[in-house]
Amino acid sequence: MSAAPTAAHDNTAEPVLVVDFGAQYAQLIARRVREARVYSEVVPSTMPVAEMLAKKPKAIILSGGPSSVYEEGAPTVDRSLFEAGVPVFGMCYGFQLMATSLGGTVDNSGAREYGRTPLTVSRPGSTLFEGTPAEQPVWMSHGDACSAAPEGFTVTASTDVVPVAAFENDEKKLYGVQYHPEVMHSTHGQQVLEHFLYRGAGIQPTWTTGNVIEEQVTAIRAQVGTKRAICGLSGGVDSAVAAALVQKAIGDQLTCVYVDHGLMRKGETEQVEKDFVAATGVQLKVVDAQERFLTALAGVSDPETKRKIIGREFIRVFEQAQAEIVAEAGAEGEDVAFLVQGTLYPDVVESGGGTGTANIKSHHNVGGLPEDLEFELVEPLRQLFKDEVRMVGAELGLPDEIVQRQPFPGPGLGIRIVGEVTKERLDLLREADAIAREELTAAGLDREIWQCPVVLLADVRSVGVQGDGRTYGHPIVLRPVSSEDAMTADWSRLPYDVLGKISTRITNEVDDVNRVVLDITSKPPGTIEWE
């Protein structure tokens, strides 16, 4: 066996397991472990210990969770987990489970703490805390508290309220903290986590996106063999990186399909047609379906109806393109057996994990071809978080405009026009959106904002004055938000001079727009998009 694939294989073969006790913490912990360049996977707390150990984990992390260890039916782990010789790090609920399982005391004496709390480190030279300040802010969220550590454990930190806020047993390689080291507000949390991984568990930081590429190229070649694959490009990061990775693995056995529904932003279709093709050398089939989408959307204002129409038309057009590719392959059509998808790790975890490859059936309605085309999925990004996907994309040589692109909804500008979607309105919105993007980029704000929808209130008109005359035009809404995952968001506090410049340019340069307004609503209660 050659050295490189073995190294890549070893990286994922012995993962750090993050046991998920509910709430949203486990995924974030897994991400932080990967930031420490160690491969990690999330597993449910219901997984039997023997199954966890069968994965040969280099270490196990027990996440926080919303339960109390004394609650009836609260999730738990078998004590054997702590006796398997695998290093374990318990955080919050995981810390309390470790404490109670091993004979320590956790009680609900009312010693609750929520939010940012000062932690006092009593053992500055300990495995977890070495080199971190004696007093450091940490993020707490607990009702119960540990009052006595299990036998053999050293208490390493406390707070005003909790006498045992961290403990460790170096001999058994068991560690725990009452707080959440994975959240930003625990300012030394990443360092503490890395101390566990490198010092406590003795793991080398070797996980890199370079490994991912090597490993996936090998895996894709093994899966696809000499057959052919199809990939739909949406203009987004995930499908672009998935396609580039598969292209690297199987070259011309891959054909990409791009459905131009006419709802893209200015320049984005060209980026796919030219820049992506230039960077990857991929075979691309572009379907111009703009008229078809406009016709289907005519007269429709309701946002959900628009979404349904766009989704339906998209599938129809895509399947027709698939069928054409199969037909063009002639007698070898049945070799077109794979469909590439840019599924990411959070989707995998949220849909209950699983490592198998699903088969999907694609129904289509083109005469002369089999009723159902059956494709096996190729999902080369299933192990990756979004930031890792961007790194892989950059490493594969994709341009920044594609790799660093903001999230953009599948239905595109169709749900950024409040009212009926027409060609004129799309053109107008595209101009306004391009100006906003240009100015945000010029001001160096791209990395600070998560995304900035620009919305046309086509059903609203207001009075204005431009030149010598009275106007009766439409407002444009700017919706810049900051967010980590789009589940919650805050409106971005953009500098007034940047906002001023965007406003002046849009009202000067875009016909029929005489007002620019700023959306200052957080999510919740507002969503990011207007429709």
| Sheet with strand 254-260: strands edge to edge | 283-288, 254-260, 228-233, 336-340, 372-378, 359-363
Direct distance between the N- and C-terminal alpha carbons of the chain, in angstroms, rounded to an integer? 54
- Report whether 73 belongs to an annotated binding site: no
Tell me the chain's radius of gyration from C-alpha atoms. Answer: 27
| Neighbouring C-alpha atoms within 13 Å toward the C-beta of 483 | 21
Q: Which of 176, 174, 205 is nearest to 40 (CA)?
A: 205
Residue 467 is classified by DSSP as T
**Which of 214, 248, 182, 165 is closest to 42 using CA atoms?**
182
38 is in an annotated binding site: no
Answer yes or no: is 67 a known binding residue.
no
Decide if 364 contacts 401 (C-beta within 8 A).
no
Q: How far is the CB of 451 from ligand XMP (least distance, A)?
A: 6
The least CB distance from residue 306 to ligand XMP, in Å, is: 9
Q: Hey, which residues between 493 and 522 contact ligand XMP (CB under 6 A)?
A: none
Q: Is 236 among the annotated ligand-binding positions?
A: yes
Minimum separation from the CB atom of position 528 to ligand XMP (A): 3
What is the total count of residues that contact ligand XMP (CB under 6 A)?
11
Please report how close the Cβ of residue 412 comes to ligand XMP at its closest, in angstroms.
9
Pick the closer one to ligand XMP by CB: 87 or 236. 236
Q: Judged by CB under 6 A, does residue 528 bind ligand XMP?
A: yes
Angle in degrees, 0-180, between the axes of helices 496-509 and 423-442, rounded to the nearest 10? 150
Q: Does 478 bind ligand XMP (CB under 6 A)?
A: no
Residue 235 assigned ligand-binding role: yes
Place of tokens 């489970």: 97
Q: Which of 15, 65, 409, 473: binder of ligand XMP (CB under 6 A)? A: 409
Closest to ligand XMP by CB, 394 vs 486, is 486
From 163, 353, 407, 419, residue interacting with ligand XMP (rule: CB under 6 A): 407
* Residue of 430, 525, 526, 440 lying closest to 476 (CA atoms): 430
Work out how close the CB of 452 gets to ligand XMP at its nearest, in angstroms, rounded to a whole number: 10
Stretch that binds ligand XMP, among 102-110, 208-216, 371-379, 409-417 (CB under 6 A): 409-417
Q: How far apart are CA 19 and CA 16, in angstroms?
A: 10
User: Residue from 22, 410, 419, 464 that binds ligand XMP (CB under 6 A)?
Assistant: 410
Question: 524 preceded by cis ω (within 30°)?
Answer: yes
User: Which part of the chain contacts ligand XMP (CB under 6 A), choosing from 110-118, 252-260, 285-293, 403-411?
Assistant: 403-411
Q: Does 488 bind ligand XMP (CB under 6 A)?
A: no
Does residue 221 bind ligand XMP (CB under 6 A)?
A: no
Residue 234 annotated in ligand binding? yes
Of 200-208, 221-229, 405-413, 439-447, which part binds ligand XMP (CB under 6 A)?
405-413
State which residue, 6 or 527, has the beta carbon closest to ligand XMP.
Answer: 527
With CA atoms as reference, report the closest residue to 149 among 137, 164, 160. 164
**Closer to ligand XMP at the Cβ: 234 or 269?**
234
Which of residues 478 and 528 has its CB atom nearest to ligand XMP in the complex?
528
Q: Positive or negative CA dihedral for 317, 320, 326, 328? A: negative
Long-range CB contacts (within 8 A, 24+) of 151-157: 151/102, 151/103, 153/102, 153/104, 154/123, 154/126, 155/122, 155/123, 156/121, 156/122, 156/123, 156/126, 156/128, 156/129, 157/119, 157/120, 157/121, 157/122, 157/123, 157/129
Q: What are phi and psi of 415, to 5 degrees?
A: -105, 15
Q: Out of 15, 104, 380, 411, point to the residue binding ligand XMP (CB under 6 A).
A: 411
Q: Is 238 annotated as a binding residue?
A: yes
Q: How many Cβ atoms from other residues are within 10 Å of residue 226's Cβ? A: 8
Sign of the C-alpha dihedral computed for residues 220, 222, 223 and 228 taken in this order: positive
Residues 296-335 as x/- pattern, contact with ligand XMP by CB under 6 A? -----------x----------------------------
| Residue 198 vs 530, nearer CB to ligand XMP | 530
Contact 389, 213 (CB under 8 A): no
State in angstroms the smallest separation of the CB of 385 from ligand XMP: 16
Nearer to ligand XMP, 185 or 307 (CB): 307
- For the annotated catalytic residues, the residue numbers are 92, 180, 182
Annotated binding site for ATP: 234-240
The residues binding ligand XMP (CB under 6 A) are 307, 407, 409-411, 451, 486, 523, 527-529
Annotated binding site: 234-240
